[in-house]
């Protein structure tokens, strides 16, 4: 490749200005890890959900639990009622559900009335025992607003539409501040709900950024110093990494994509990949210096050695990452496309700007000291020699190991469980388990019931069908609470007949039902049925959190629905639980598409680079085998395919191919010069082996740093990717030379046959 010469001052200015521009653009970065961010807007389920929320309130809530033995005393109830009122007054709150903000249907002399379950006026009229009896005897409060033993109260906040995780954080912080100001911190024991999970993920993301960004940069620069002992190399690395990382993140802003937990992996990833390319460049500079070259000659010689491998390595890695763009999960797609674009920027900087900087300021020699990381040279030689001398054994044992592990791949389960994304010690997980233990499940699911005409849901026969479905749902072990308009009608019927328990049933008279619905003036009815009485929802609270378990329940519900005569009624399943469960199939489809696209496109690039089908196939084997190994480990250890691990295959293939290209390019260069396979392998590994081993060490160290994350999928992503890169290194250093040695006689035979007289 012909080098493009740039003035050093221009190259330095570009690095500094692009870093500045990226930093300025990042001031508009939107931090948003809310569930809606992950749902593709074009999916029918998502579109139906948005249509549904035009009629009914959101099922996203924030649940606070308060516990104590004196909750019905004035000392607790007075500040608790004030807290409830404070939260109701917040502009971002749609409704608060608590003992002081909940309707109760009671019988009166002339029918029934809707009145508060508890209020400031009632505190003056009732003693603690009477308050306790009033709340615990309510049909709906126990399990929802109060524990069945009366020692726990919930405060359920339902927000209006919130834009982004920061607004959710602000709402949660407003609640915590109000709790502290009302003196209820001692009684406050748990905080859960979808909103709290989003905030916990936001905290995990900020924690990761504070550790990973400086950590990965420090590790990389330290290894550069150990390898080359050149301050210029360290400074240029720092400048290039900063510019590439900032520009990559700026691309998210320009594309209108939010910064999510998935995107939080971008800074350490771009830092690691940029440094990997630079180390190959620095290694070539060191070899040029050992040949006695200086100044422009040193730069030109080094450029000739690594320009083409860096270009194709960047292209193949970009293709691997860009394949994630086929994922229907938007944050995964945005991550892949931004990283791919960042790799192309990194390639341009490495081939255009870095040579110009070294040509101007590289005035010292590159000395390879006996200390530092010389052990890498010994490791490379040992593995290379083993692969060449015991080629048959190496290939046979490798194939047997992979074949023995292959059945474990079938054990991989696709699962997304937000609760298990956190460690058992995490506050959000402990809070969720506590609330679920003392009250109801916080996972929501909704059954939507549609009639073709107005007032269709006032018909007794349709209401009985809903009641039968609700009874069946309440018998399912995953369902902790079910609520529909049927409950309210039964309660009205009971209250209208002087609270006689025999009348806590559905009336058979349509006119009477219509009269009840007309008289009712509470807030709950039209959260369960629209004002046309043509669409209703049956809300469920579940004690499960994983997509697989939710899908299993949805499957049973669909079976039950299919075996029931619903007449004109149309039924659909919706809610957060449905959206969350649908991600399972989206993940599977996205994983398959991304991996297939990555393999096909990288194979085509290999074919274009080597111009040989055999060479392309040979170099793909060491890059696909680590992915197979990762899947084997996931299946053996029971690691789920989730948001983070779904990206591992494409990322690993894209990164691993980098080292293979550098090695095989050096090998082919020597072979084309007429050298034997053994000699060419020895020289290729001598020149490129140390750099590729060092880059793997850096990449693994930086991915292992992800193990410090408080978010389990990020930990698994880091550890499994590091495992894949180590496996890729072993395949490059051990398996590939063995395979080349084994195939060499066949290549000679084919060449001899093709040159025999009389052969075409």
Tens digit of each residue's pLDDT (9 = 90 or more) over 381-400 = 888 889 889 999 999 999 99
pLDDT surpasses 50 at 651: yes
pLDDT digits (tens, 9 = 90+) for 228-273: 889 999 999 999 999 999 999 999 999 999 999 889 889 988 998 8
pLDDT digits (tens, 9 = 90+) for 414-438: 888 888 889 999 999 999 999 999 9
Let me know the angle formed at the C-alpha of 376 by 373 and 380, rounded to the nearest 5 degrees: 165
Closest CA to 14 of 185, 244, 314, 278: 244
Q: What is the pLDDT of residue 211?
A: 87
CA dist 447 and 571 (Å) reads 7
Residue 546 shares a structural domain with residue 624: no
Q: Could you tell me the two tokens for 107?
A: 């019988």
Residue 568 shares a structural domain with residue 608: no
Instruction: Let me know: does 242 contact 20? Beta carbons within 8 Å.
Output: no
Residues contacting 33, CB < 8 A, separation 6+: 165, 198, 201, 202, 205, 258, 260, 261
Residue 29 shares a structural domain with residue 135: no
Total of domains in the chain: 3
pTM value? 0.85
Residue 593 shares a structural domain with residue 519: no
Residue 675 shares a structural domain with residue 617: yes
**Mean pLDDT over each residue of the chain, to the nearest integer:** 90
Q: What is the pLDDT of residue 750?
A: 43
pLDDT digits (tens, 9 = 90+) for 5-25: 999 999 999 999 999 999 999
Residue 755 lies in a domain: no
Q: What is the pLDDT of residue 544?
A: 93
Residue 267 shares a structural domain with residue 188: no
Residue 143 lies in a domain: yes
Residue 757 lies in a domain: no
Residue 495 lies in a domain: yes
Residues contacting 491, CB < 8 A, separation 6+: 105, 139, 504
Binning pLDDT at 50, 70 and 90, where does residue 365 land? confident
Residue 364 shares a structural domain with residue 482: no
Q: What is the pLDDT of residue 503?
A: 94
Q: What is the DSSP string of 10-59?
A: HHHHHHHHHHHHHHHHGGG--B---GGGGS-TTSHHHHHHHHHTTTS---
pLDDT digits (tens, 9 = 90+) for 655-704: 888 888 888 988 988 888 888 888 998 888 887 777 788 888 888 988 89
CATH number of the domain enclosing 648? 1.20.1640.10
Residue 215 shares a structural domain with residue 326: yes
Binning pLDDT at 50, 70 and 90, where does residue 757 land? very low
Let me know the angle formed at the C-alpha of 60 by 180 and 468, rounded to the nearest 5 degrees: 125
Residue 54 lies in a domain: no
The whole-number average pLDDT for the span 702-723 is: 88
Residue 219 shares a structural domain with residue 330: yes
How many residues are listed for the chain in this entry? Answer: 760
Of the residues 132, 165, 192, the one at which a domain ends: 192
pLDDT surpasses 70 at 756: no
Of the residues 192, 226, 253, the one at which a domain ends: 192
Residue 16 lies in a domain: yes
- The range of the structural domain enclosing residue 138 comes to 61-192
Residue 558 shares a structural domain with residue 619: no
CA dist 727 and 653 (Å) reads 11
**Helix runs in 255-389, H state only:** 266-290, 295-322, 330-348, 354-361, 375-389
Residue 209 shares a structural domain with residue 171: no
Residue 56 lies in a domain: no
CA dist 167 and 159 (Å) reads 10
Residue 433 lies in a domain: yes
pLDDT surpasses 70 at 371: no
Of the residues 556, 574, 592, the one at which a domain ends: 574
Q: What is the DSSP string of 698-738?
A: HHHHHHHGGGG-SBHHHHHHHHHHHHHHHHHHHIIIIIHHH
Residue 434 shares a structural domain with residue 489: yes
């Amino acid at each position: 490749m012909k080098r493009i010469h740039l003035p050093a001052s221009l190259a330095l200015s570009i690095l500094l200005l692009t870093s500045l521009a990226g930093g300025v653009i990042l001031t508009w970065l939107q931090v948003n890890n809310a569930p809606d961010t992950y749902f593709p807007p074009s999916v029918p389920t998502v579109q139906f959900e948005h249509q549904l929320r035009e009629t009914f309130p959101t099922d996203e809530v924030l649940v606070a639990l308060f516990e104590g033995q004196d909750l019905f005393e004035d000392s607790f109830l007075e500040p608790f009622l004030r807290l409830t009122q404070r939260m109701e007054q917040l502009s971002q709150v749609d409704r608060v559900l608590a003992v002081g903000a909940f309707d109760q249907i009671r019988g009166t002399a002339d029918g029934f009335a809707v009145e508060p379950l508890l209020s400031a006026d009632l505190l003056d009229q009732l003693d603690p025992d009477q308050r306790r009896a009033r709340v615990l005897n309510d049909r709906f409060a126990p399990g929802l607003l109060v524990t069945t033993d009366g020692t726990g109260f919930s405060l359920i906040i339902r927000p209006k539409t919130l834009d982004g995780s920061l607004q959710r954080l602000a709402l949660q912080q407003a609640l915590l501040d109000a709790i502290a100001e009302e003196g209820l911190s001692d009684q406050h024991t748990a905080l859960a709900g979808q909103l709290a999970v989003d905030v916990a993920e936001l905290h995990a993301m900020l924690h990761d950024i504070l550790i990973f960004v400086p950590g990965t940069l420090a590790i990389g620069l330290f290894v550069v110093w150990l390898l080359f002992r050149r301050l210029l190399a360290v400074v240029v690395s720092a400048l290039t990494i900063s510019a590439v990382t900032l520009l990559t993140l700026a691309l998210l802003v320009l594309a209108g994509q939010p910064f999510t937990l998935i995107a939080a992996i971008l800074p350490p990833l771009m830092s690691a990949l940029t440094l990997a390319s630079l180390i190959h460049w620095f290694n070539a500079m060191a070899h040029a210096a050992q040949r006695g070259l200086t100044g422009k000659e040193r730069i030109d010689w080094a450029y000739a050695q690594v320009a083409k491998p860096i270009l194709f390595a960047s292209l193949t890695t970009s293709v691997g990452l860009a394949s994630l763009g086929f994922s229907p999960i938007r944050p995964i797609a945005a991550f892949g496309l931004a990283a791919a674009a960042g790799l192309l920027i990194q390639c341009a900087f490495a081939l255009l700007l870095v040579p110009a900087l070294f040509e101007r300021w590289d005035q010292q020699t590159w000395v390879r000291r006996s200390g530092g990381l010389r052990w890498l040279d010994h490791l490379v030689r040992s593995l290379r020699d083993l692969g060449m001398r015991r080629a048959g054994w190496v290939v046979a044992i490798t194939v047997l190991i992979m074949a023995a592990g292959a059945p474990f791949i079938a054990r991989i389960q696709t699962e997304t469980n937000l609760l298990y994304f956190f460690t058992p010690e995490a506050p959000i997980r402990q809070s969720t388990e506590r609330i679920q233990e003392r009250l109801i499940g916080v996972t929501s699911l909704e059954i939507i019931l549609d009639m073709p005409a107005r007032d269709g849901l006032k018909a007794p026969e349709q209401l009985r069908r809903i009641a039968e479905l609700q009874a069946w749902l309440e018998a399912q072990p995953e369902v902790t609470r079910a609520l529909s308009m049927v409950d309210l009608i039964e309660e009205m019927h009971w209250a209208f007949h002087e609270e006689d328990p025999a009348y806590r049933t559905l009336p058979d008279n349509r006119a009477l039902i219509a009269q009840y619905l007309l008289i009712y003036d509470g807030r709950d009815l039209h959260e369960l049925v629209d004002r046309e009485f043509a669409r209703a929802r049956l809300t469920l609270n579940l004690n499960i959190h994983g997509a697989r378990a939710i899908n299993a329940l949805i499957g049973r519900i669909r079976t039950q629905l299919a075996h029931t005569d619903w007449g004109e009624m149309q039924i659909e399943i919706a809610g957060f639980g449905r959206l969350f469960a649908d991600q399972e199939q989206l993940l599977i489809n996205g994983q398959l598409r991304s991996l297939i696209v990555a393999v096909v496109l990288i194979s085509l690039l290999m074919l274009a680079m080597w111009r040989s089908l055999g060479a392309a196939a040979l170099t793909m084997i060491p890059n696909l085998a680590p992915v197979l190994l990762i899947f084997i480990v996931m299946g053996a250890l029971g690691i789920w395919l989730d948001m983070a691990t779904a990206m591992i295959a494409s990322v690993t293939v894209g990164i691993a191919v980098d080292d293979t290209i550098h090695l095989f390019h050096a090998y082919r260069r020597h072979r084309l010069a007429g050298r034997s396979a053994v000699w060419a392998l020895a020289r290729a590994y001598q020149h490129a082996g140390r750099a590729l081993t060092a880059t793997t060490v850096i990449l693994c160290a930086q991915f292992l740093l992800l193990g410090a994350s408080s978010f389990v999928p990020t930990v698994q992503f880091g550890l499994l990717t590091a495992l894949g890169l180590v496996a890729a290194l072993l395949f490059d250093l051990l398996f590939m030379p063995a395979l080349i040695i084994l195939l060499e006689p066949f290549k000679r035979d084919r060449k001899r046959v093709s040159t025999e007289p009389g052969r075409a």
